[in-house]
Amino acid sequence: MSIQTVFNREEIKFLISKEKKDIILESLEGLFVPDNYGESTIYSLYLDTPDFLLARRSLEKPLYKEKLRLRSYGRANDNTLTFFEIKKKFRTTTTKRRISLPYPELIKLLEEEESYSPEGISTTLNPQVLHEINYSMKRYHDLKPRVLMTYDRQAYYHKDDHDFRITFDRNIRFKTADISLNSAADGESILQNDYYIMEVKILNAMPLWFARLLSENHIYKTSYSKYREAYTRITEQEKTLCQTYSQISSQAPLLPISS
């Protein structure tokens, strides 16, 4: 199986119920087939600065933004093929570049202090992608794994156009402790039960017949970022902890000053 390392496409997201997801899949039966991973649990380990600069920029919804992450399809072990990805988005067009290598070699690559060099790595890496990763890692200060996102995905592609893909993600959760591609797929949920993030990935304009299918079922695009949503939850939790600490401190009795 060949591994795709460069993606340039439109990515359009929709928040839908299980009922509408079933309607879409029924309507696409015979046109779309499961991809190589079919149904799987996605592990995405996001890299960021200590003050979450990349997440904060995403909240501002700029025309251009980028993310760096490690990814595996299922819980990683020494035999798992994993990915180091740099994802850039300008307006609605997404460019994703990645290198693929066994999990132990990904860890070795991540631990390099000066640069992400293929020295000692058995897998042949795309030098251009490695250069882009190096540039981004040096551009931001102290970029390290900060948040692990896991979610259950069903992925399909059009039988006559493999660049036309549709994914359904549910049970989206995140955590900031015990984070690695080898960690348990647990954490705090950020999407209510029986709801899915449907993502349409396509090179060109959305086909009219598919746009009509969405319209007939009152399915409209939305702006949604799993990592951005996780960061929002993290900051809310930190704010609550600070307020609680402040209230406890203000209510604490003053100790008498000894003479």
Domains of the chain, each with CATH number or no CATH = 6-249 (3.20.100.30)
Find all residues with CB under 8 Å of 237, minimum gap 6, and list them: none
Are 22 and 199 contacting, i.e. CB atoms less than 8 angstroms apart? no
For the stretch 132-162, what's the b/e string if a residue is b when 16 or more beta carbons lie within 10 angstroms of its beta carbon? bbeebbeeeeebebbbbbbbbbbbbbbeeee
Predicted local confidence at residue 259, as pLDDT: 47
Listed in sequence order, the DSSP H helices in the chain are 18-28, 53-59, 103-110, 127-139, 208-216, 226-251
Predicted local confidence at residue 231, as pLDDT: 94
Are 162 and 33 contacting, i.e. CB atoms less than 8 angstroms apart? no
Predicted local confidence at residue 246, as pLDDT: 57
pLDDT tens profile 27-54: 999 999 998 877 899 999 999 999 999 9
Find all residues with CB under 8 Å of 239, minimum gap 6, and list them: none
Question: What stretches in the chain show pLDDT beneath 50?
Answer: 1, 122, 259
Predicted local confidence at residue 243, as pLDDT: 61
Residue 166 identity (one-letter amino acid): I
Predicted local confidence at residue 7, as pLDDT: 73
Q: ∠ CA 53-54-59 to the nearest 5 degrees?
A: 95
**Quick one: which of 141, 168, 135, 138 has its CA closest to 28?**
168
Predicted local confidence at residue 137, as pLDDT: 83
**Residue 55, by phi and psi: left (phi above 0), alpha (psi -120 to 50) or beta?**
alpha
The pTM assigned to this predicted structure is 0.85
